[in-house]
Structure 1
């Protein structure tokens, strides 16, 4: 039967990436002292699945490497060898190389042959070195005289690119094979589906064949069949297996007395039916359609506004129901794209381990709120900024163990990654309990580099200097940090996502970086305002209140411009029509108080039109980037309205204030 296996590649690559993540997490748990046998089993299963797919699709380098890795893991889980630190290190190295080989298979980007060979040799060395030491302690096992194998393929076996006849031919290479076809499941000819596997097989393999060789043959169909493998000899092999597996760590796949080995655990089919893999492009297309529905609903609402409620009561009731259903549909569809932020957090244990070892520091990673959900598009783009922040915290923030002891601290520093929902935002924090920022040193470096420094700067303004392009206080340039590249890029990347970043620090107590991101980039709740004859959208998550100021509440302060007194607090005022250069008649008598980048701003507007959901359209792709504008939307009457970037307005105003040398 001929079948194009390439159409299954995308699913294999996706599942293999998840498997490598699971392997890495499990190996780090083992290195941290975990004694749970299931952790070893989970790492083994991940390696086993990757190997099976690689062999099926012809990815020989991956199949060869995972075969050695699987052998090492099998000996560890069966109790034939102790778990050594060098073995964990070698297996973590193999995870890195497998990621490179996966990229080679998926994108054609060649993996480093030297790295592949080195990891392969390390794993082989672990196997060879331990085998000699363990040999005297192991009893000599008598291979059975043959094996009875009941092989029942699942109906969907062909769809995974497998063929039972190929498996039978593989078994024939191991020894003489007796084959008996079981036709009980074979339907009548009229109901026969050539794409379904309907024949089961009762097999007799004669000769002293190792059980592991049989397992290798069935490796790539283990999840698509029912399998019962029984030795034909006396239960000597079973007793030997029982000796090999220590108490508390049974060898998975090894039968207890008389128990068949089932390759499909109970509940597997139910779990498989509980979720499906859908292309991100299809989800994005669905979100775009829901966005258009939101625009259409706004249009109908606007058109109906001029109708007589008494004669159009049923129409208004239907429009209210449509609005509720549209919002529910929008939330449900966006929920499809939401993923737990743990998808990003779980890559950091390995990063922290490697960097702390390299720098000679003791570092513990603490994560909070891993289940907090964020749009998939944001998750993919927030990973790199977080990596840079964590590297900075370990390299610059945390002290060496002796320095921490001298300061009365625990010699193990802590990096905290936390995520939470606050209002319409997700807040991600990267914090350390290290030395904190040195205010005087930052100011001196800024002046030395000729950067603009505010007069009598606050701590927040001093910390903000770190985000200037090219700024660095590192005395030595390393490959980790200190080149003056990074923090400005971190801020730009986060701002490009509609977010903002703040930095807090206490000398001697540590540093905390706070990132605020919108929950999604697709649809937002906005306050619609008019000024200078134009309509603008203020994101509702930034709006604090709206008010009509009195003349006596407005003052002019030297170096600050006009300010508005609101309950004893003076807020900078900004005319939206003046800022954006609108030339229409503008009588801005109202103020909307907003907050962005941790600072409040009083925005002068002419009229509050109302609140509504708006679909965010990317302005930069369709026109160009406009300072102080985060995007655009289409109103119910077909007009285009700009969405105000509140954080951008705050930063633009700060840049326009007088600076001190």
Structure 2
């Protein structure tokens, strides 16, 4: 429920539009309701007008700028208007946050029907006495109000109590687990039915096809229960960044991409604090002052970009800025002052990783913005506790990018199963580009150990899964001739496999919780025949080929 409005609340008319996509206005209102400290909102005169405008009445104690910032994050400022609203357009009696003065002391004339349940006897008798004079019985005094158990739905839509249902997270997790087991069982039935004659078992085949379709719809619906869009997290930053930039005397613009990318609710709650620290770091350490930026030939307004996306079986959140970037020499010098071993032969990635050392800071003096007693080591620790990784990329003078990669602990995804020897591996279908048959003479050796293959005038590194996982082979004369091109993290590799087994839905099980972390493997699944197959981490294999 919405929090009561603070003292000094005022009534406003909010106009959003004109909008061709009217569902966008509904999403904006839902966003407003989630941030309860801004006040309450409900449709005005049905909420929809013929010219595509949406009108709402808002009870709030927030400033106009705060309200406009919330909405103009999604639509232009010209599409949002705030107007004073007459006191006659108050909220319904008993609505959350309604001012006391809007409640009426006397009934406006719409009383209870004669002999209706709950009508006081005196009121009923008076209504009967007045019956010859009026067609509608009207009570002379307001009866003692019985406990109101439910509010009639408004014209603009269902009340929150009717449109939402509170369910514990444990019940949802149990439901997701059961659906995962159902998908495995459906895969077993599908595999066992392949040897049956479809002519003799036509009804069985039809039923299994319906089961597969319904299972897919069911798992998609169940998986979406715990998912909320990243916009819920991103919308917290504009106001914070505006205040922080003003405090530091900087001009900063926030750009977001992928707000519709959905994350697990529990993951969103735990990733908010690390992201907040990264954004503050970018504003404080990364973005230069307007004078310095102009002197370097940059626009005086810096840009911080938040990007959320799904890559393979992972969720990637990036925090980018176009500021000064990291200084290699300064990081090495600071590390040596802290007693950290930092030879000059370190690669750039190893130098960038120094900022994750406990107590490490490049700030000359700690302020309430810079450091605040919480370093990047705490950020990395929090993300690692979620089973994620943090990567830094920087170019001095041009900016810096921090990538937070979070693996899915439980999901159902589409995968391509490939065979290598007697083993079966799963490739995320979203990472697979193409597959083709290759002749052994088209694979070239580079530098004595590396191997590449030419695919349409482009040379790609070859990854032999047989060697990566030391797959035992008993048919020594067999030569792998199938390659699957996969893409991740901006790079492509060609994987050498024995056969393509097909495409199917697989339940992703967290390998670390049941065994331990395995390099180049993101998870495991149970196949239709009961065997365990490993789900490959395509991003890790691409990084492996680069090294």
TM over 0.5: yes
- 1:186 maps to which residue? 118
- 1:149 maps to which residue? 106
Q: Describe the superposition over 1:42-69 as per-residue Cα deviations: whole angstroms up to 9, x where unpaired.
A: xx99xx98889xxxxxxxxxxxxxxxxx
Which residues of 2 match residues 173-212 of structure 1 at below 5 A?
184-186=116-118, 202-203=141-142
Change (3 A) 1:594 1:314: same
- 2:225 maps to which residue? 336
Q: Is the CA contact 1:533–1:585 (under 8 Å) kept in the aligned structure 2?
A: no
**What is the Cα deviation at residue 620 of structure 1?**
1.5
- 2:352 maps to which residue? 466
2:538 to 646, 652, 659: 646
Cα distance in 2 for partners of 1:560, 1:568 equals 22
Which residues of 2 match residues 218-367 of structure 1 at below 5 A?
266-267=155-156, 269-270=158-159, 272-367=161-256
- 2:431 maps to which residue? 542
TM-score when scaled to structure 2?
A: 0.67
Change (3 A) 1:151 1:533: farther
- 2:485 maps to which residue? 593
Instruction: Answer yes or no: is 1:631 the counterpart of 2:518.
Output: no
Q: Is the CA contact 1:522–1:616 (under 8 Å) kept in the aligned structure 2?
A: yes
**Alignment RMSD, CA only?**
5.0
Q: Is the CA contact 1:181–1:202 (under 8 Å) kept in the aligned structure 2?
A: no
Deviates more, 1:524-533 or 1:513-522: 513-522
Q: Is the CA contact 2:433–2:487 (under 8 Å) kept in the aligned structure 1?
A: yes
**What is the Cα deviation at residue 630 of structure 1?**
1.6
Change (3 A) 1:645 1:424: closer
TM-score when scaled to structure 1?
A: 0.56
- 2:82 maps to which residue? 36
**What is the Cα deviation at residue 616 of structure 1?**
1.1
Q: Is the CA contact 1:295–1:635 (under 8 Å) kept in the aligned structure 2?
A: yes
Which residues of 2 match residues 388-467 of structure 1 at below 5 A?
388-419=277-308, 428-438=317-327, 450=341, 462=348, 465-467=351-353
Change (3 A) 1:555 1:497: farther
Q: Describe the superposition over 1:113-150 as per-residue Cα deviations: whole angstroms up to 9, x where unpaired.
A: xxxxxxxxxxxxxxxxxxxxxxxxxxxxxxxxxx8334
- 2:18 maps to which residue? none
- 1:531 maps to which residue? 420
Cα distance in 2 for partners of 1:598, 1:614 equals 25
Q: Which runs of 5+ in 2 are unaligned?
A: 2-30, 41-59, 70-80, 121-138
Cα distance in 2 for partners of 1:277, 1:38 equals 35
Q: Is the CA contact 2:326–2:352 (under 8 Å) kept in the aligned structure 1?
A: no
Cα distance in 1 for partners of 2:372, 2:447 equals 38
- 2:73 maps to which residue? none
- 1:478 maps to which residue? 366
Q: Is the CA contact 1:529–1:605 (under 8 Å) kept in the aligned structure 2?
A: yes
SS in 1 for 2:224: helix
SS in 2 for 1:325: helix
SS in 2 for 1:283: helix
SS in 1 for 2:502: strand
Change (3 A) 1:204 1:539: closer
- 1:247 maps to which residue? none
- 1:249 maps to which residue? none
- 1:607 maps to which residue? 499
**What is the Cα deviation at residue 399 of structure 1?**
0.9
Cα distance in 2 for partners of 1:223, 1:401 equals 58
Q: Describe the superposition over 1:575-623 as per-residue Cα deviations: whole angstroms up to 9, x where unpaired.
A: 3233333334374613323233333333332222111110111222222
SS in 2 for 1:306: coil
Cα distance in 2 for partners of 1:201, 1:282 equals 51
Q: Describe the superposition over 1:612-647 as per-residue Cα deviations: whole angstroms up to 9, x where unpaired.
A: 110111222222222222221111111121211222
Cα distance in 1 for partners of 2:211, 2:458 equals 42
Change (3 A) 1:474 1:365: same
Q: Is the CA contact 2:107–2:142 (under 8 Å) kept in the aligned structure 1?
A: yes
Change (3 A) 1:500 1:637: same
Deviates more, 1:535-544 or 1:519-528: 519-528
**What is the Cα deviation at residue 475 of structure 1?**
4.7
Q: Describe the superposition over 1:541-599 as per-residue Cα deviations: whole angstroms up to 9, x where unpaired.
A: 22223233322333333386333333344433333233333334374613323233333
Cα distance in 2 for partners of 1:38, 1:374 equals 38
Cα distance in 2 for partners of 1:276, 1:560 equals 59
Change (3 A) 1:577 1:309: same
Q: Describe the superposition over 1:14-50 as per-residue Cα deviations: whole angstroms up to 9, x where unpaired.
A: x9994545469984753588783589x9xx99xx988
- 1:125 maps to which residue? none
Report the structure, 1 or 2, having the larger helix content.
Answer: 1
**What is the Cα deviation at residue 396 of structure 1?**
1.4
Cα distance in 2 for partners of 1:26, 1:518 equals 41
Q: Is the CA contact 2:417–2:502 (under 8 Å) kept in the aligned structure 1?
A: yes
**What is the Cα deviation at residue 348 of structure 1?**
1.5
Q: Is the CA contact 2:460–2:494 (under 8 Å) kept in the aligned structure 1?
A: yes
**What is the Cα deviation at residue 202 of structure 1?**
4.5
Deviates more, 1:507-516 or 1:488-497: 488-497
Cα distance in 1 for partners of 2:64, 2:401 equals 27
Cα distance in 2 for partners of 1:274, 1:338 equals 17
Change (3 A) 1:617 1:182: farther
Instruction: Answer yes or no: is 1:376 the counterpart of 2:252.
Output: no
Cα distance in 1 for partners of 2:440, 2:543 equals 27
Cα distance in 2 for partners of 1:22, 1:477 equals 36
1:572 to 461, 467, 475: 461
- 2:49 maps to which residue? none
Cα distance in 2 for partners of 1:345, 1:617 equals 29
Q: Is the CA contact 2:311–2:488 (under 8 Å) kept in the aligned structure 1?
A: no
Report the structure, 1 or 2, having the larger strand content.
Answer: 2
Change (3 A) 1:269 1:608: closer
Cα distance in 2 for partners of 1:572, 1:446 equals 35
